[in-house]
Amino acid sequence: MARKVFILNGPNLNALGMREPGVYGSKTLQDIERDCRTYAETLELGIDFRQTNHEGVLVDWLHEANESAVGAAINPAAYGHTSIALHDAIRAISIPVVELHLSNIHAREPFRHKTMTAPVAVGVICGFGPTSYTLALQALANHIKDQ
Ligand code: DQA
């Protein structure tokens, strides 16, 4: 069976496609999931792709990923900027976690320039729209291979 990685999505990402398309593009989260599945096959990885609007659910899923996956990519969305719980969850688990954002958070409002999650992630990819997801998958796969 293919090794599995989790791709986790935080609040409001279920609204992609209609949510501020000038910032986030016109693809829906389902479109992005499809792209990730196709790309993951080339990396010989299986993916578990999920979205929630609830902080604690993301924490639970990170713990679950630690039990059943070889790594995780997360777009924590707004919780990335605020959540000590997500910081602690990533710290508490032993699998590598890559943080990603569709938009270039550093080119936006100052409150988006920092994330609580970046210091505990393996690395951060942002600013490439939906391609941020496949870049994060590639980076995660390389990191796992090198481990
Ligand atoms: C986001 C950037 C965050 O600042 C924002 O709160 C989001 C989406 C992105 O993918 O660009 O919801 O994570």
Q: Which residue, judged by its Cα, is nearest atom 1 of ligand 1?
A: 77
The confidence score (pLDDT) of residue 2 equals: 76
Q: Quick one: which of 56, 11, 53, 9 has its CA closest to 31?
A: 9
* Mean pLDDT, residues 65-73: 98
CATH number, domain 3-146, options 3.40.50.9100, 3.30.56.10, 1.20.210.10, 3.40.50.1170: 3.40.50.9100
Reported as a single tens digit per residue, the pLDDT across 8-59 is 999 999 999 999 999 999 999 999 999 999 999 999 999 999 999 999 999 9
Whether the CB of 125 sits within 6 Å of ligand 1: no
Number of H helices and E strands in the chain, helices first, is: 6, 5
Closest atom of ligand 1 to 13 CA is 12
Q: pLDDT class for 147, splitting at 50, 70, 90?
A: confident
pLDDT of residue 116: 98
- Residues 93-143: tens digit of each pLDDT: 999 999 999 999 999 999 999 999 999 999 999 999 999 999 999 999 999
pLDDT at 123: 98
pLDDT of residue 46: 97
**CA-CA distance, 5 to 39, in Å (whole number)?**
12
| DSSP code per residue over 88-101 | HHHHH--S-EEEEE
In this predicted model, what pLDDT tens digit does every residue of 59-68 receive, in sequence order?
999 999 999 9
Of 101, 109, 128, 132, the residue with max ligand 1 atoms within 8 A of its CB, to mutate for a pocket test, comes to 101
Return the SS3 of 1. coil
Q: In this model, does residue 1 exceed pLDDT 70?
A: no
Q: Is 101 touching ligand 1 by the criterion CB < 6 Å?
A: yes
d(CA 118, CA 100): 9
Q: Which of 39, 87, 101, 133 is flagged as catalytic?
A: 101
